Amino acid sequence: MCAFQAYSKREIPLSKPIHRLDVTGALCPLPILLSAREMRKLATGDLLEVLGDDPGIREDMPVWCERAGHRLLELKEEEGGWIRSLVEKGPPRPRPGSA
């Protein structure tokens, strides 16, 4: 079973600027690590578009978004093997053990 999903464009808030990250040529785990590093620079609600060619992104991006508390708005494969993800940054999550 493939975890690849196409997400509806109707959910994409078009009024926000989109930050872009090109991870072309980077292989697992780098696309997710680079996405996480870029996401730390953004504010809650900001959008990050990630473009890459590693097939692992199809499975890794939804898992990372769920674990990190971000919202995956779009994940699609385009001609030429490009994989485009659009992620909305979620609110900060408390660190384990902090109270």
Which residues are part of the catalytic machinery?
28
Kindly provide the residue ranges of all beta strands, DSSP E only, lying in 1-99, ordered along the sequence: 18-22, 47-52, 71-77, 83-88
Contact 69, 39 (CB under 8 A): no
**Phi, psi (deg, nearest 5) at residue 98:** -100, 135
Degrees to nearest 5, angle at CA 49 with 48 and 51: 140
CB under 8 Å to 98, separation ≥6 — which residues? none
